[in-house]
Amino acid sequence: MAKFTLADPVQFLALGFGSGLAPKAPGTFGTIAAIPVYLLMAFYLPLVAYALLTLVMALAGIYICQKAADAAGVHDHPAIVWDEIVGFLITMFMVPLSWQAVVTGFVLFRLLDIFKPWPISIADKKIHGGFGIMLDDVLAGVFALIVMQLLF
C-alpha cells in the first residue's frame, strides 16, 4: 500500500492537491482539479506566460512524479495525477474560454488518457520513471489540443 502524505509539498502536488486520493477514477478527479488551475491561468495570464508556466509545470512534473512514485514504491501509482493536470492545461492552450470548451476539453483529454491510442500507448508502456509518467499525458494533451483547435 502506498504511503502518501499531503504534508509533503512534492506529494501534495503529485497527488493533485489531494484529488488523486479519490478511491475511484483518480485520474478523472485529477483532471477535475486541473479545471480551476486552468481557469485562473486562462483568465489572468497572457498567452506567453500560460505557455511558459505549463512548460515549467511539465518539466517539474518529471521530478514531482518520480519522487511520488518512489514514495509509493510503484512506477505510476494511480494517485499520482500531476500529469493529468499538465495534460489538461496543454489541451486547453489557446482555446477560447467557455464552459463548452472546458467540458469538451475535459472529455477529450480523459478519453485519450484512458484509451491511449498510438503513440500514447507506446510512451505509456516503454518509457519509465518521472519522464514516462509525464510523457503519455503530455502526448494525450497535445493530441487533444489539436482536436480542440479544430473544434474551437
- Grid coordinates representing 68 are 511520488
- Grid coordinates representing 3 are 504511503
Global pTM value: 0.96
CA nearest to 72, candidates 25, 130, 32? 130
Burial letters 110-141, b for 16+ CB under 10 A, else e: bebbeebeeebeebbeeeeebbbbbbbbbbbb
Please determine, for residue 1, whether its predicted confidence score (pLDDT) is greater than 70: no
For position 3, what pLDDT does the model report? 80
Please determine, for residue 90, whether its predicted confidence score (pLDDT) is greater than 60: yes
pLDDT per position as a tens digit, 97-126: 999 999 999 999 999 999 999 999 898 888
In which band, very low, low, confident or very high, does the pLDDT at 78 lie, cut at 50, 70 and 90? very high
CA nearest to 114, candidates 104, 124, 100? 124
Rounded to 10 degrees, the C-alpha dihedral 143/112/19/78 comes to -120
For position 97, what pLDDT does the model report? 95
Q: How far apart are CA 17 and CA 120, in angstroms?
A: 25
- Map out the domains of the chain as residue ranges: 32-151
